[in-house]
Structure 1
């Protein structure tokens, strides 16, 4: 048995014509895959952003109530570990450099083999002491010296990290064509920012922008003029069209090797991205709107004719691990909180959960039942009290607790492991992202009539009902006590 997961970082569901037929973005190969796949219409994030989402996918459980960005914990039971113990060879090919910086430990190392393609974003790859001659601060958004160094190596389209990643995945399939069983994870950083690609992809969108360079937005309120935001959206679209083109090469190998007949294939993402919607660009520091939390998911299951209506059941990224284990006939570990999706694809099930719980550590905690979304904000700007629980106190390029080591405690705090943990009080000074600063109000939206979340409801009875649902969901996940306190929830 064979399985492939294609994970494209920052893949906006609402910009894919497979999910939104009116989309103006050109993704013919994602649409080509959709024709052979079952589409999930109610698929939601779990922990955000990048590394927390990957830990969810690897472990089959939500982590954002316990800690934020960080490595695989020593007590985590992960997908590649379980596959390896049952004799299934696994390989990851990726250009997601966060796996190899502080806060990304132990993900790739659990695979039988791994392949990293350097050069995305601020990956410390091209080593030059001096700043590039063309580096300038006269841009909208961000411009980073390290990326300017990296991009000097992108002479042709095939030199970009995303295309290199897809080419390497194709080569791996060619090299292992005779294999009877494997799991291949193909991770493309694109279309994550910076939105950089050869000019001919931008030309597809008739871009005539002449203002300051703008390909790497800040996570901030929109302050750029409308023409710059339109250009930014076209840059995102061009970057997405480029990685879609190279996805087509992978699908060509699927065709030539007839892998559709015996290979499970996922396409999904970790989160979306705001490109001016709600007057924001980015993620992490604002409310987790549907553009960020409502994700694309399509699954090709051999021997199953896809239901063209798609699946309406609520699903989450924690369902990836149990689905793959179920496909390989492997028992699902007791620590897993996700569900196998195979019954939904086969039509033997039509429901696996009543709601999805999701969020970013130290920010809002959110719940949706597919009818409403409730975005619960902390009640204090300093986010007190908030603690991280970890045996691996690394985070986004840094270490947790270095500013308050005298406040760190050690104990056995989590019900699903007896492993001793650090309990580290977290404040604004202790995390790389601003917490609670821009989400001072809780919001409830009727997403059946107001999907784009433009007008929050003030119905007190409904707010009470979804507050109770949120408390119920957090209790089932055994959220730490201080999570209720910082959100002002009365249990």
Structure 2
């Protein structure tokens, strides 16, 4: 059995024609891949943002109920670990810079081998004390000095990190053609910001247009109305994102061609998905993390080529999430699914379009709302005023670019807080979500919300607080989810439940 998992960071569902026939974004390679695969229409985010989503994939259970962004824990049972124990070879190639930062430890080391291509975002790579000579004089959003140094290292498209990641995957397939029993994870940071893309792709989408400044590739995570962005700048950043999706699609196509060329496509399970979406001006938002997990962020693409072309060209209606990837891959490889895994295997869907899967999906960012969908309704449960009690649980107390609990070491407890492990954990008071940098980190998620996706997919009409029986049903579903997924007990109090 062979499995290839392709993860493209920040790939919005609505740019793909298999989900949105009206899209203007050019993705010919993802389009032809979808035609040969099964398209999952009801795939939802789990833990957000980047590293929490990866721990969901690696461990087959939600990260966000217990801790924020962080490393693989010493008690985690991971997908590569299980596959390797059964004799499968596991390799990852990536340019996802967060793996090499504080809070991203331990993921790459789960694989037999790994490749990493440097330079994305603020990766501390090119070491020059002097300021780079390519800093723009006028710009919108943010400009990272370190990134400006890094980008001087790739004069051509093929030198850029995500293209090198896909080329590395092609080389790996060529070096291992004809081999069986492997798991290859191909993880491109693109189309995550900065939306850095060669001019030839921008020309497909109108070029610079009406941008009145020298540079705009990295938006601030703020409401558009709280920035200096004009309509031309919003239009420009949307087109930059579209252009980067097209470039990423081009290099993805090379991998699919290489698998075909070596006769390794048809009998390989190939999964294509993402970690989260992104706001590009919709609802007055730019970025992610600080707002409710509306569909622009939470309703995600998931396309699976099953071995032998099973269900090629079909759409699956079942609810799915990232935590379902681990049990699916393990079952497909003939491995036992560990008891710690709470995801659901999708292997039955290879042959039975009506096979049952999960009947709800939880999702969220640690310390913010906890959300649930049954596929018809989405329910966003806001925390009580003060957002307490709230704790972070970790054996390795690292989070995004910093250490957890450094502001309150005298209040940290240590004990055996999880039933699934005897490993001692730190229980760390959380006063503000780790991944939020704004001065008012919960301002945008203070309101509980309920939406009927059948009549209101755009989530404009909030039905919460009207005494509807559907809200009580969603609350019960949320409580059931917290119980079944072994949420820390104080989450209920924090959510006013």
Q: After superposition, what is the alpha-carbon deviation per residue over 1:313-340, rounded to whole angstroms, capped at 9, x for unaligned?
A: 1111100011110111001000000111
In the alignment, structure 1 residue 209 sits paired with structure 2 residue 210: yes
1:201 shift after superposition: 0.3
1:429 shift after superposition: 8.3
What is the alpha-carbon distance in structure 2 between the residues aligned to residue 471 and residue 11 of structure 1? 30
Say which SS state the counterpart of residue 379 (structure 2) adopts.
strand
1:20 shift after superposition: 0.8
Structure 1 unpaired stretches of 5+: none
The answer as to whether partners of 1:364 and 1:436 remain within 8 angstroms in 2 is no
Q: After superposition, what is the alpha-carbon deviation per residue over 1:374-398, rounded to whole angstroms, capped at 9, x for unaligned?
A: 0111122x42221001101000010
1:438 is aligned to 444
What is the alpha-carbon distance in structure 2 between the residues aligned to residue 471 and residue 209 of structure 1? 49
What is the alpha-carbon distance in structure 2 between the residues aligned to residue 433 and residue 484 of structure 1? 25
2:197 is aligned to 197
Q: After superposition, what is the alpha-carbon deviation per residue over 1:409-431, rounded to whole angstroms, capped at 9, x for unaligned?
A: 01111121111100000113866
1:136 shift after superposition: 4.1
What is the alpha-carbon distance in structure 2 between the residues aligned to residue 52 and residue 166 of structure 1? 23
Alignment of 1:274-289 (within 5 A): 274-289=279-294
In the alignment, structure 1 residue 81 sits paired with structure 2 residue 88: no
In the alignment, structure 1 residue 36 sits paired with structure 2 residue 36: yes
What is the alpha-carbon distance in structure 1 between the residues aligned to residue 74 and residue 176 of structure 2? 31
1:438 shift after superposition: 1.8
1:91 is aligned to 91
Q: After superposition, what is the alpha-carbon deviation per residue over 1:217-273, rounded to whole angstroms, capped at 9, x for unaligned?
A: 111101311221111110000011001000111011011011123211000011111
The answer as to whether partners of 1:209 and 1:228 remain within 8 angstroms in 2 is yes
| 1:2–1:443 distance in 2 versus 1, CA, 3 Å | same
The answer as to whether partners of 1:268 and 1:296 remain within 8 angstroms in 2 is yes
- TM-score, L = length of structure 2: 0.96
1:410 is aligned to 414
Question: Which shifted more, 125-134 or 241-250?
Answer: 125-134
2:118 is aligned to 118
Alignment of 1:12-23 (within 5 A): 12-23=12-23
1:481 shift after superposition: 2.0
In the alignment, structure 1 residue 162 sits paired with structure 2 residue 170: no
Alignment of 1:367-446 (within 5 A): 367-380=372-385, 382-428=386-432, 433-434=437-438, 435-446=441-452
1:364 is aligned to 369
In the alignment, structure 1 residue 270 sits paired with structure 2 residue 278: no
2:133 is aligned to 133
What is the alpha-carbon distance in structure 2 between the residues aligned to residue 206 and residue 349 of structure 1? 44
- TM-score, L = length of structure 1: 0.97
What is the alpha-carbon distance in structure 1 between the residues aligned to residue 25 and residue 266 of structure 2? 30
Question: Which shifted more, 277-286 or 255-264?
Answer: 255-264
2:495 is aligned to 487
1:306 shift after superposition: 2.2
The answer as to whether partners of 2:51 and 2:69 remain within 8 angstroms in 1 is yes
Say which SS state the counterpart of residue 428 (structure 1) adopts.
coil
The answer as to whether partners of 1:371 and 1:447 remain within 8 angstroms in 2 is yes
Say which SS state the counterpart of residue 125 (structure 2) adopts.
coil
Question: Which shifted more, 60-69 or 470-479?
Answer: 470-479
What is the alpha-carbon distance in structure 2 between the residues aligned to residue 337 and residue 137 of structure 1? 51
1:3 is aligned to 3
Pairs aligned (count): 488
Alignment of 1:134-153 (within 5 A): 134-136=134-136, 138-153=138-153
What is the alpha-carbon distance in structure 2 between the residues aligned to residue 62 and residue 429 of structure 1? 17
Q: Could you say what the CA RMSD is over the residues aligned between the two structures, in angstroms?
A: 1.4
Question: Which shifted more, 135-144 or 475-484?
Answer: 135-144
What is the alpha-carbon distance in structure 2 between the residues aligned to residue 200 and residue 23 of structure 1? 20
What is the alpha-carbon distance in structure 1 between the residues aligned to residue 155 and residue 304 of structure 2? 35
Alignment of 1:236-251 (within 5 A): 236-251=241-256
In the alignment, structure 1 residue 313 sits paired with structure 2 residue 314: no
- From 219, 223, 241, the counterpart of 2:221: 219
1:305 shift after superposition: 3.5
Say which SS state the counterpart of residue 300 (structure 2) adopts.
coil
Structure 2 unpaired stretches of 5+: none
The answer as to whether partners of 1:386 and 1:486 remain within 8 angstroms in 2 is yes
What is the alpha-carbon distance in structure 1 between the residues aligned to residue 56 and residue 125 of structure 2? 28
Alignment of 1:51-70 (within 5 A): 51-70=51-70
- From 440, 457, 460, the counterpart of 2:463: 457
